[in-house]
A and B are shown apart, each in its own frame.
Chain A
Amino acid sequence: MTVGMPLREDRIHRYVNAFCPHCHDENPDMTLEEVPRLSGYLAEAEGQVWLVRGCPRHGKVVTHYDEDPEILSYLERWTATTKVHIPDTPGNFAPVPAAYLEGLSEMQTQHTCILLEDINENCNLRCPTCYADSMPELTGLASVADVMANIDQRLAREAGRIDVLMLSGGEPTIHPQFREILEGALQRNVVRVLVNTNGVTLSRDDALLELLASNRDRVEVYLQFDGFKKETYLHHRAADLRTIKERALQRLSSAGVFTTLTMTAALGVNDDEIGAVVLHALETPFVGGVCIQPVFGSGRSTSINPLERLTHTGVLKRLGPQTSDVVQWDDLTALPCSHPHCASVGYMLRTDAGEWRSLVGVIGHDRLAAHLDLVSNRIIDPELTSELRELVKTSLLGLLSEQTSLSHPTVLDLFRDVCEACDLGLSTLLKMATGSRRQAKAMRELVGTRIKRITVKPFMDMNTMLEERLLQCCVHVGTKSSKQNQCAPFCAVQAWRPLGDMKLPAVTRPTDTRTSIPVKVGS
């Protein structure tokens, strides 16, 4: 007698649409209409999460997706209603990724939280790890007018306001019109401008530092900072940049410019330094926090093993052991506005007693989850009312003082604003908490030394790319077609060359050089 079919050895986590990394490697120049969308699923096996998809040419293709199923399920709990978007091309119902050739499609389900403008292709470093494939020889340069036109197009499609504008490249600070671009952005209704930099110029250029410092109420710096070991920098940057990084950081800190340490982390290279970088952020004034990005294989990168890599949940579970439990994985939640696999965020607050506590720990997970449901459907006035300022100020002071109960109900409103504004920067928090110029300095000091934001941002390459994450992506790169200014999800632009060729600096290059740069995908 037979006993029927045996049970599967894996456990299905969720069903997804994905793409084939082998097809992508074999023909990186294929048109986006030819890219096959594949049926697949995420499955648990051997205590990890795997992405399995069926390719008509390569059969079952299995790649490593995440290191901890339990933490991944925890992240999936944090969801909220997304915001309406206006498609770049009405009636664009083409499938992913071809849809993005005409900008955000009708089927996108999230607006632009962060608009990333690549303003140049050239760089003063030649890093072995660079998703943008930048190098000193590249000549693509977006003009001030090009960048402003793209920003204005986005403003028109975002009801007149952009929450976060990130200037990137290449190395944006070596763009000859960087000052004009920054000032142009600040003249517009952009809540916060982030400058994505390697810090080389900042470590020695006083005029640049002064430019950033004079606009520090709305400008923050994302400083590439990979760790403290010489080997780490040799691996990722092909040079020992430790002194330069530390000097740039100290100069920014002294100038009171909120800075986020952006760490590219790779398994077996610097995944053991995650805790050290987090603790360094906690200790350094005006370092607003740290953003840890597991290395991904788009653009130029040293080989990434698609079957064993550092992942989102892998970073989270290293936090506790590497920080002596100062920060633990459940001090962070998924960023509710994006897909829960795409970003996690946590705010750490230092009490009068010098103890670091997480915002989510203060509020409580269950209470916060319940509150999230409450606020997700709520419409608030985008303008900050005086009452709201007072509320947030009270919340912050309450959080930071032992005299006030940390579980005060108004603390919830602080987190509401974190959700509504898609991950508040500290400068925004400060603006909200400051009622008058007289209070500004004291509050700035308070926020700069006692509130830190920790984020984990796992970008996708073809080994981890999911259609649903692209559709809910809210980090969009400014692109330009022959018809219009538009934008597309960050990971799609880095992974598919026809989209990368639509970045603003790339369209200024002669057409015949756009697809001639060697790209090595780590798989």
Chain B
Amino acid sequence: MSGRTTPPAAFEPSYPSQATPFDPIRLCVYSTIALLAWLLTPATVTAVFSGVALVAYWRARRAGLVKSRCKLGDTRLVMAYLGVLFLTGSGLTLYRVLQLMG
């Protein structure tokens, strides 16, 4: 007998075998996120949400939104407010991280 000695690689198992137990890694990830939130909030929450809102308002203004239903009215004022929040939140988060490390 000559020639080919192995089947195509496509038929080699490339998936977790049934014998390997389930790995609940997602629960570990969720726990870590909760820990970080505990240590870093509320500054981090402020930074994250104000950052997301800043980007959203930036896009909205470019799309033509001049006046918002926000109490501040003018979208430029809203972005300025969010920018302040973002810088404050980010700065305090950075300070907290350095504090934890140091």
Contact = CB atoms under 8 A, between A and B. Distances in A.
Contacts of A9: 8-10, 14
A50 B14 contact: no
Interface in B1-54: 1-11, 13-15
A303 B15 CA distance: 34
Interface stretch (A158-166, A304-312, A435-443): A304-312
Contact of A50 (B2, B11, B13, B15): B11
B6 A307 contact: yes
A52 B11 contact: yes
A355 interface: no
Contact of B10 (A46, A267, A305, A522): A46
A60 B4 contact: no
Contacts of B3: 267-268, 305, 307-308
A45 B6 contact: no
A6 interface: yes
A304 B8 contact: no
A492 interface: no
B10 A6 contact: no
A315 interface: no
Which of B3, B6, B10 has the most C-beta atoms of chain A within 10 angstroms of its own C-beta?
A: B10
A52 B8 CA distance: 11
Interface string B35-77: 0000000000000000000000000000000000000000000
A52 B3 CA distance: 20
A10 B8 contact: yes
A307 B14 CA distance: 21
B10 A304 contact: no
A50 B4 CA distance: 13
Contacts of B2: 268, 305
A307 B10 contact: no
A267 B1 CA distance: 11
A305 B5 CA distance: 8
A368 B38 CA distance: 75
A268 B1 CA distance: 11
B10 A10 contact: yes
Contacts of A64: 4
B7 A308 contact: no
B4 A8 contact: no
A304 B3 CA distance: 10
A63 to B, nearest CB: 8
A217 B13 CA distance: 58
A46 B11 CA distance: 11
Contacts of B5: 307
Interface in A271-311: 303-305, 307-308
A248 interface: no
A60 B11 CA distance: 8
A305 B6 CA distance: 10
A305 B11 contact: no
A280 B5 CA distance: 35
Contacts of A305: 1-4
B17 to A, nearest CB: 11
Contacts of A5: 15
B82 to A, nearest CB: 27
Contacts of A46: 8, 10
Contacts of B1: 303-305, 522
A129 to B, nearest CB: 14
B8 A308 contact: no
Interface of A: 5-6, 8-10, 43, 45-46, 48, 50, 52, 60, 62-64, 267-268, 303-305, 307-308, 522
19 contacts: A5-B15, A8-B10, A9-B9, A9-B14, A10-B11, A43-B11, A45-B8, A45-B10, A46-B10, A50-B8, A50-B11, A60-B11, A62-B7, A62-B8, A62-B11, A268-B2, A307-B4, A307-B5, A522-B1
Given A52-B11, A63-B7, 12 more contacts: A6-B14, A8-B10, A9-B8, A9-B14, A43-B11, A50-B8, A62-B11, A64-B4, A267-B3, A305-B3, A305-B4, A307-B5
Interface of B: 1-11, 13-15
Q: Which 8 A-B pairs have the closest CB atoms?
A: A9-B10, A62-B7, A45-B10, A303-B1, A308-B4, A308-B3, A45-B8, A307-B4
